[in-house]
Structure 1
Amino acid sequence: MTEEKIVKHFQVSDPEQAVSLMGNQDKNLKLLEEGLNVTLNAFGNDIKITGTSQAASRSYAVLSNLVELIAQGITISSGDVVSAIKMANRGTLTHFQALYQTELIKDRRGKPIRVKNFGQRQYVQTVANNDVTFGIGPAGTGKTFLAVVMAVAAMKNGSVEKLILTRPAVEAGESLGFLPGDLKEKADPYLRPIYDALYAVLGAEHTARLLDRGVIEIAPLAYMRGRTLDDAFVILDEAQNTTPAQMKMFLTRLGFGSKMIVNGDVTQIDLPRHANSGLVQAHRILKNIPHIGFVNFSAADVVRHPVVASIIAAYDQQGDQQAAKNKQNM
């Protein structure tokens, strides 16, 4: 039996706020229609919402939250709209306003950087409350970018003296041996996402100066062996491609006054066949140790184009079906 549709009306008192809410060519309303399964028709400052009782109520709540942000002088983007939709569908919309109350840092253009969803908020809070934090989940959830933001913020407020960013030099179907230069020069292309995050926060020139002074160090994981990292903010990216021995080596570099973030996606392991992932093992054996926190992201936390989350979910579903099929055939 099909649930009966109802009509709600959402009024925006300020015409300028109405324009900001709807977006260029009503793009925000189109995102809301698709994400919340409703029909929205705008007539001046009035938005007519047509859908099931639950969908219409969710849409009204999302519009109310977005207008409140606009009233505070915050310019909303498509990403903000998508985040509100996802939080409404997950029942966490009551936390939406809180996302915008804490500014992590300003980017190189002076714009505030804030968390974009509830998963990112949990990630930031876990990093603040632990010495070692594992962020596990798909690409596009903002793990690397947020880790760099928190590292730069810690350096600016004097909590740490340097930033150390690393990742294992392993990629699917590629070999470092074919690239020119020494190990660091060979590994630099694999470290590009870390450079991109630093450039977004600090700018290319400032990043280059800090690299020259040794305040920021970006290096392949092999460079961490034999060191003790005191008063540093240390980030290991693409940690699913570490072996158990490499993961143990990295984690035992932690020194006094330091924080570590370990990020990875256990569905994207590029290690040679039959090799075990150090991230998978760490998740299993370290999850109950004090001062170590784990945050698990899902496709719902992806902050890229909405279709990316759908792609990830489809692949996850296919993987689950294949695993179930393999289990039946055993």
Structure 2
Amino acid sequence: MHRTRFDEERNPAPIQPLTDKQGQYLDALASSSQVIVLGPAGTGKTFIAGTRAADLLRQRRISKVVITRPNVPSGRSLGFFPGTLEEKIAPWVAPLTETMKERMGAAAFDIAVKAGDIEVVPFEVMRGRTFKNCLVILDEAQNTTTPEIKMFLTRIGDDCQVIINGDVSQTDLRETSGLRTVIHLVKSRMMAIPIVEFTLDDIVRSGICAEWVKAFEEERL
């Protein structure tokens, strides 16, 4: 039987790491229920998280993917923008959702969204929610406060996998980043939670894009 493009979209090849650090990240995802991944843009953090989410959902190893992120960079509450809360936050998580859509196929992705199997949850309404049998991705975690990330981590069920993605050098907060607090707790208490730290040497984007990322990162701009 000939394979169709539809079949290929549903059975994509496993992710192949492009760097040693990406390999460490994939190993951590395969063996740990919580993973913290740090580092600059262009290292594949978002791509791997989105691809992992799509694969687990497609293989029915989880019932839901939940994506969230704090709304600090805009400088305004989500209430300022028109539309539902989900519509307001959608542009901020587009890199993750677009990766999932490409991995799953547009039709399968849209069906999953309509069925509630892929849910974008504004971080400001996470309080009161609990999650079970799902993959939860917290993006831009450096912009959470310590009370916020405490609230987040204490609402995750044992049958969930959590990916905490951020870059502590890029926080927009005036107070101590909750992500920095979590890193300290994991290391000081020797918790069995892997922390994968990408550096500028791990950037996989090619050409002038990579040069710009490195230039801004090295100049702390």
Shorter-normalised TM range: 0.7 to 0.9
5+ residue gaps, structure 1:
1-105, 323-330
Q: How many residues align?
A: 213
2:126 maps to what in 1?
224
What residue is the counterpart of 1:245 in the other structure? 147
Q: Report the TM-score when normalising by structure 2.
A: 0.85
1:137 is aligned to 2:39: yes
- TM-superposed CA distance for 1:145, in Å, is 1.4
Q: Is structure 2 residue 202 aligned with structure 1 residue 301?
A: yes
**Which of 121, 125, 135 is matched with 2:27 structurally?**
125
Give the drift of 1:295: 0.2
The separation in 1 between residues aligned to 2:158 and 2:27, in whole angstroms, is: 20
1:73-84 equivalence runs, <5 A: none
> What do the CA deviations read for 1:265-296 (whole angstroms, capped 9, x no partner)?
1222123xx22211111111123443311000
C-alpha distance in 2, partners of 1:306/1:299?
A: 14
Aligned to 2:193: 292
Aligned-pair identity (%): 38
1:280 — aligned with what?
180
Aligned partner (choices 168, 185, 210) of residue 266 of structure 1? 168
Q: Does the 8 A contact of 1:127 with 1:293 survive in 2?
A: no
The unaligned stretches of length 5 or more in structure 2 are 1-6
Q: Secondary structure at the match of 1:114?
A: coil
In the TM superposition, residue 214 of structure 1 has moved relative to its aligned partner by 1.2
The one-letter code matched in structure 1 to 2:92 is Y
Q: Name the residue aligned to 1:311.
A: 212
Higher relative contact order structure (alpha carbons within 8 Å, sequence separation ≥ 6): 2
TM-score between the two structures when normalised by the length of structure 1: 0.59
- Name the larger-Rg structure: 1
Give distance in 2, aligned partners of 1:188 and 1:200.
Answer: 16
Secondary structure at the counterpart of residue 120 of structure 2:
strand
Query: Match of 1:281, as an amino acid?
Result: T
Tell me the secondary structure at the aligned position of residue 197 of structure 1. helix
